[in-house]
Structure 1
């Protein structure tokens, strides 16, 4: 009834694995599985660009803050040092940034490259901070306008940046660490003076 298995040792026998040797179809089961249940890659949309905002004050609004305008006119290194400390978040300090600003201006003055307004060549250093500040707060402008503004009107540019940080809640005279301490103290006082929550009657 059944054909007896061949006892000829020269004839190869099928491997005893329990799986068929070949399929009648051209696509294997593994390929069907990979095609049917393969990983689906969903593209992630790019993040939306942040909106560009205007400066809180204009470039020529120096008369709105006479104290800062006079200080910047006579000693721009102080204004720049305070701005740089806030933008750099405390490192380097106001004294270090202001001293470096003065050194750059003095070096150019000694070698004979004098600026016609008498403000020195500190604008070469300060224009980079304007660009950095714009990136932090998404302010309008570009690298070209930053250089032109600082080149032709360094005091007005420094005053505008000073007023912008004041508008954003920074106290410029106490530096970065002073602002951080003041804000953390304000949060602690708010938590300490929060009104207690009235509980309902317990039965």
Structure 2
């Protein structure tokens, strides 16, 4: 006879995924913790929206269609946890797109990073193939994924850290040197 009490593994999973719990403090630059899936067992989770759900966010869809470097820069800043600025990532994307005609060469690596950070499935196919065939749809999906995880993607990394209460606390400034 099986007991009605969940095993330790289930209890840990339920506790970790409880949305009412406050996220633990994370030092700036380490990331904003957003529970997703069953991280304790290493299971992959599905994307929050489909690849072809571009019109779920019409504003982002339009921006991405006309100027994908903006959306890519915003995504890259969040995925890199502020190490790469939106402007820098967007400029590199635009330069690669202008020189080669394939900004997807650069952006597919960020899809892989995003997938690994949030343990997302590689679907509907490989990251580079998704970006090469459906660049705009892939960027819109990544933007929606970050948004569904609580990020204000257009605000940038630092604004998201500040909003979560994880801003940098500085030591007091001491003026003057030692004297006798």
1:68 aligns with 2:49: no
**1:137-170 residue CA offsets vs partner (Å, 9 max, x unmatched):** 000017x610110000000000000000000000
> What is the CA distance between 1:172 and its match in structure 2?
1.1
Other-structure match for 1:56? 48
Q: Secondary structure at the match of 1:82?
A: helix
For 1:185 and 1:49, locate their aligned partners in 2 and report how far apart those are by CA, in whole Å. 28
**Which of 129, 141, 147 in structure 1 is aligned with 2:128?**
147
For 2:154 and 2:119, locate their aligned partners in 1 and report how far apart those are by CA, in whole Å. 24
Larger Rg: 1
For 1:77 and 1:88, locate their aligned partners in 2 and report how far apart those are by CA, in whole Å. 16
For 2:154 and 2:64, locate their aligned partners in 1 and report how far apart those are by CA, in whole Å. 14
Other-structure match for 2:158? 177
Consecutive aligned runs of 4 or more in structure 1 exceeding 4 Å deviation: none
> What is the CA distance between 1:51 and its match in structure 2?
1.0
In the superposition, the TM-score normalised over structure 2's length comes to: 0.68
For 1:150 and 1:185, locate their aligned partners in 2 and report how far apart those are by CA, in whole Å. 33
**Which of 91, 105, 111 in structure 2 is aligned with 1:130?**
111
For 1:148 and 1:185, locate their aligned partners in 2 and report how far apart those are by CA, in whole Å. 36
For 2:53 and 2:133, locate their aligned partners in 1 and report how far apart those are by CA, in whole Å. 16
For 2:99 and 2:72, locate their aligned partners in 1 and report how far apart those are by CA, in whole Å. 17
Other-structure match for 1:160? 141
Q: Give the count of matched residue pairs.
A: 128
Other-structure match for 1:98? 90
How much is the aligned-residue C-alpha RMSD, in angstroms?
1.9
The equivalences for 1:11-90 within 5 A come to 49-90=41-82
> What is the CA distance between 1:91 and its match in structure 2?
1.1
